[in-house]
Amino acid sequence: MGVEICVEGLTKSFGHQVIWQDVSLTLPAGEVSVMLGPSGTGKSVFLKTLVGLLKPDRGSVKVAGRDITKLREHELYEVRKLFGVLFQDGALFGSMSLYDNIAFPLREHTRKSESQIRRIVLDKMDMVGLIGSEGKLPGEISGGMRKRAGLARALVLDPEIILFDEPDSGLDPVRVAYLNQLIVDLNAQINATFLIVTHDIASARQVPDNIGLLFRRELVMFGPREELLTSDEPVVRQFLNGRMQGPIGMAEEKDAAQVEQELARLGDADRKPRHVGNDMTPRLMPGPGIARPPRWEAIARREAELHRKAVTGA
């Protein structure tokens, strides 16, 4: 079962450069959340701060009720056991087989026997579809398989929180679709709290319960998926639609007058209120034979009702 993460007033800078400031949000236990934002907005820094690898200038990060910004090193070590992390490149050891890569955390952090380790490793490899590849080296497999091996390693200590740092990086659209389905299926199976940093808009529309967006050194929005997908906030709409018109520029944010001119050129249609029924991308569901958590049924009913109201005007 996942645990809740409560972030309050979080600020981080490197020297005189403020990365983001006064970030507050709650990652609900057992749910999938996505953090979006243009390149350079500190999304990966945010992940490292959540797990205690970086210390914020101000604010708190409460994991299962414990503020990790105030913990001593040995206490922080215990809290980190709640986390599993999938890094961008999988972070696999090139000289180790996939089996040994996945077994590594168990050998380092537990006293389990090799027979126990083998059972756990094969179970996690089965969950991510890697059975039969135990003896292969990372250099002998595709990028998608390396991602899945990294995910299996993140799962071996049965974490209650899993952080994904751009899991779709370097993958083609088909592999991204398979990875998204795998993430949805895993969340349904283990009910851990997931936070995914990504640039992939299709993933952000289909996978999460909640979406956040970092821009201009602050958290613009964070909330339920349907609220972000139907938001009238210009930067949210620009990012989710992947277009040039809006506050986000190539190198830095644009001035207000330029943004207003660009949005005006888009026409009145773009300024009309968003309707959930019109804008909502269908959510990915767990695959055949995988039970849906109760919240999924409640969300599906809510989105169906919002769609009905948008269509009928009732």
Report, as an integer, the average pLDDT of 86-97: 85
Percent of the chain clearing pLDDT 90 (strictly above): 56
- Give the type of residue at 176: V
pLDDT reading at 269 higher than 70: no
Please give the model's pTM, rounded to 2 decimal places.
Answer: 0.87
pLDDT reading at 161 higher than 60: yes
Cβ atoms 175, 199 nearer than 8 A: no
Rounded distance, CA 10 to CA 26, Å? Answer: 12
pLDDT reading at 257 higher than 70: no
Q: What's residue 282's pLDDT?
A: 81
> Of 278 and 67, which is predicted with more confidence?
67
Sign of the dihedral defined by the CA atoms of residues 135, 137, 138, 140, in that order:
negative
User: What burial letters (b/e) apply to 173-185, b meaning 16+ CB within 10 Å?
Assistant: eebbbebbbbbbb
> Of 241 and 149, which is predicted with more confidence?
149
pLDDT reading at 268 higher than 60: no
pLDDT reading at 277 higher than 50: no
Report, as an integer, the average pLDDT of 40-63: 93
Give me the sheet containing 161-165, strands edge to edge. 83-86, 161-165, 193-197, 32-36, 210-215, 218-224
DSSP sequence for 255-298: PHHHHHHHHHHH-GGGGSPP-HHHHPPPPP---TT-PPPHHHHH
Residue whose structure tokens are 């800078």:
13
Rounded to 5 degrees, φ, ψ at 119 are -60, -45
pLDDT band at 270 (very low <50, low <70, confident <90, very high): low
- Can you list the domains of the chain with their CATH numbers? 1-82+159-224 (3.40.50.300), 94-154 (no CATH)
CB atoms within 10 A of CB 210: 20
The residue among 30, 25, 35 whose CA lies nearest residue 199 is: 35
pLDDT reading at 31 higher than 90: yes
